[in-house]
């Protein structure tokens, strides 16, 4: 697969003659090339986006909505092709890409196609003074969208769909590690007749292409999802230019299990919240706190079930966990386990090792890993690992577990298991997290605000929040006689 930039409605050669290798993580081999684009490619994409803006921002909402719906339909119609490409590029099980990633990418377009027709603004009458204010919500212009590798098309479309629905034109960059489905999206955009220049996709390295988008003086807003360190760098670059920023960053999410929970349901969902997508979801619960009275029982059952899940080639139907996204990421995740074992003396209850999968020996596979820790300040409990590694720790009281849960720099998501609604409410209010799931995990209604607090980000995506982000409010104040 030789990937090309999608600029001004067609696939185009990039400026330099440099290419980057694209790896299939399930076999550890190069299977394609990606343009190593540069600042000139971003400038070219920007120029076409700017040219498309006056016309696109003046299309009727109905027109925009219909185009977005067609994109959603075509993503759905291409489910098998897109899911196969996603799975190959990322290492995630094919069934998961088919059940979650690609349907959600379609849902993103469908949701914002509908949301834009319901988007309204406020009016404020200053009673007794013959004054009326109303707020215009206008598209910003050319905006930048930068997405990570863990949920490639899912997160890419979560940004570009509201951006174009609101009337903006976009210069977007998917992760260089997983560019395939964003590339294929270009074909769909052409087929549905999205006007040229409205959505431009430039491939390449974060430090080059991403940086050029963030540093571009006329790209007025940046919607970014990725690591906290990258987010901080983006904030430093963009702040002096007063760009609008939406930063969805890392997490170190607690999974809090009280003894009075629905045990069977909790156990099943805790496997998913720990290891779905090989633990490479920003929302995964990587710190599991269990009330002491059921700690031993949970430990035995959890290890037993995890040990029976198959790690294997993503294309095999019975594979539960696939490959990690890259060799360097696998090495990073393994280094955390090594540190916990060798330097901190922690007990690895299960896993901890790289795996050789028969027939795919060079793939980046790792056992799901469960480590028992005693100190919440350890690296495993403080740093985002973003892989199939969870820690277990017992607790005694509600106050104690809330304080353990909040004792990290991150504040993205949390999961709480209890049948006691009073306790659930009390804990939800005290948790420092943008999202609290009670007796469920990754249960998403696209209308809800999505994002984190503390080092997990700034701003919220989702629903009308996203449309607000991608528009500039202007108050018009009228004094009448």
CB of 412 to ligand NDP, least distance (A): 6
Sheet holding 10-12, edge to edge: 10-12, 5-7, 199-201, 169-173, 142-146, 221-225, 244-248, 457-458
Residue among 100 and 249 whose Cβ is closer to ligand NDP: 249
CB of 400 to ligand NDP, least distance (A): 26
Crossing angle of helices 152-165 and 79-90, in 10° steps, is 120
Catalytic residue among 248, 291, 461, 465: 248
Contact between 404 and 374 (Cβ < 8 Å): no
In the annotation, is 282 catalytic? yes
Report how far residue 440's alpha carbon sits from residue 255's, in angstroms, rounded to the nearest whole number: 11
Report how far residue 360's alpha carbon sits from residue 365's, in angstroms, rounded to the nearest whole number: 9
CB of 420 to ligand NDP, least distance (A): 29
Residue among 167 and 279 whose Cβ is closer to ligand NDP: 279
Contact between 367 and 351 (Cβ < 8 Å): yes
Phi–psi pair at 132, nearest 5 degrees: -125, 130
CB of 388 to ligand NDP, least distance (A): 14
- Kind of pairing between the strands at 253-257 and 471-479: unpaired
Report how far residue 363's alpha carbon sits from residue 360's, in angstroms, rounded to the nearest whole number: 6
- Binding positions for ligand NDP, rule: CB under 6 A: 146-150, 155, 173, 175-177, 205-207, 210-211, 214, 225-227, 230, 233-234, 248-251, 282, 384, 386, 412, 452, 456-457
The angle at the Cα of 156, spanning 389 to 271, to the nearest 5 degrees, equals 25
Q: How many residues does the chain have?
A: 481
Residue among 373 and 385 whose Cβ is closer to ligand NDP: 385
In the annotation, is 169 catalytic? no
Residue among 137 and 454 whose Cβ is closer to ligand NDP: 454
Residue among 246 and 418 whose Cβ is closer to ligand NDP: 246
Residue among 422 and 445 whose Cβ is closer to ligand NDP: 445
The burial class, CB within 10 Å (0-12 / 13-18 / 19+), for 144 is buried
CB of 413 to ligand NDP, least distance (A): 9
Give start and end residues of each alpha helix (H) in 1-123: 39-56, 61-77, 79-90, 94-96, 102-118
What does the H/E/C string look like for 31-50?
Answer: EEEEECCCHHHHHHHHHHHH
Catalytic residue among 145, 169, 261, 282: 282
CB of 348 to ligand NDP, least distance (A): 23
The residues assigned a catalytic role are 248, 282
């Amino acid at each position: 697969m030789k990937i090309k930039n999608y600029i001004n409605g067609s696939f185009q050669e990039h400026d330099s003659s440099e290419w980057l290798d694209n790896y299939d993580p399930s076999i550890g081999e190069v299977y394609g090339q990606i343009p190593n684009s540069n600042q000139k490619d971003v400038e070219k994409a920007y120029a076409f986006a700017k040219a498309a803006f006056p016309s696109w921002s003046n299309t009727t909402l109905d027109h925009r909505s219909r185009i977005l719906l067609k994109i959603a339909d075509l993503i759905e119609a291409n489910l098998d092709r897109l899911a196969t490409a996603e799975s190959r590029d990322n290492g995630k099980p094919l069934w998961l890409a088919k059940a979650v990633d690609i349907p959600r990418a379609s849902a993103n377009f469908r949701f914002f196609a509908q949301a834009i027709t319901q988007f309204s603004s406020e009016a404020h009458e200053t009673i007794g003074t013959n004054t009326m204010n109303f707020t215009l919500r206008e598209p910003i212009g050319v905006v930048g969208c930068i997405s990570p590798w863990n949920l490639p098309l899912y997160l890419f479309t979560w940004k570009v769909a509201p951006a174009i629905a609101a009337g903006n034109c976009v210069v977007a960059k998917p992760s260089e590690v997983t560019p395939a489905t964003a590339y294929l999206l270009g074909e769909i955009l052409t087929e549905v007749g999205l006007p040229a220049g409205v959505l431009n996709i430039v491939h390449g390295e974060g430090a080059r292409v991403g940086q050029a988008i963030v540093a571009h003086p006329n790209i007025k807003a940046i919607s970014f999802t990725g690591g906290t360190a990258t987010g901080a760098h983006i904030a430093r670059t963009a702040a002096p230019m007063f760009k609008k920023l939406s930063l969805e960053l890392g997490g170190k999410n607690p999974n809090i299990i009280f003894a009075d929970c629905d045990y069977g349901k909790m156990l099943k969902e805790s496997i998913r919240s720990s290891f779905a997508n090989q633990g490479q979801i920003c929302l995964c619960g990587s710190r599991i706190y269990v009330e002491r009275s059921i700690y031993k029982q949970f430990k035995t059952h959890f290890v037993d079930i995890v040990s029976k899940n198959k790690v294997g080639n993503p294309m095999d139907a019975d594979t539960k966990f696939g490959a990690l996204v890259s060799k360097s990421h696998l090495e990073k995740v393994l280094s955390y386990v090594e540190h916990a074992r060798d330097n901190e003396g922690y007990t690895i209850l299960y896993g901890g090792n790289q795996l050789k999968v028969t027939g795919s020996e060079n793939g980046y596979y790792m056992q799901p890993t469960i480590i028992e820790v005693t100190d919440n300040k350890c690296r495993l409990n403080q740093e985002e690992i973003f892989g199939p590694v969870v820690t277990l720790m017992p607790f005694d009281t509600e106050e104690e577990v809330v304080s353990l849960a909040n004792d990290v720099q991150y504040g993205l998501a949390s999961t709480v298991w209890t049948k006691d609604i009073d306790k659930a409410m009390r804990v939800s209010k005290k948790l420092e997290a943008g999202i609290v799931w009670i007796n469920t995990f990754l249960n998403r209604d696209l209308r809800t605000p999505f994002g984190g607090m503390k080092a997990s980000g700034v701003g919220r995506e989702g629903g009308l929040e996203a449309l607000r982000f991608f528009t500039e409010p202007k108050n018009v104040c009228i004094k009448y006689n």
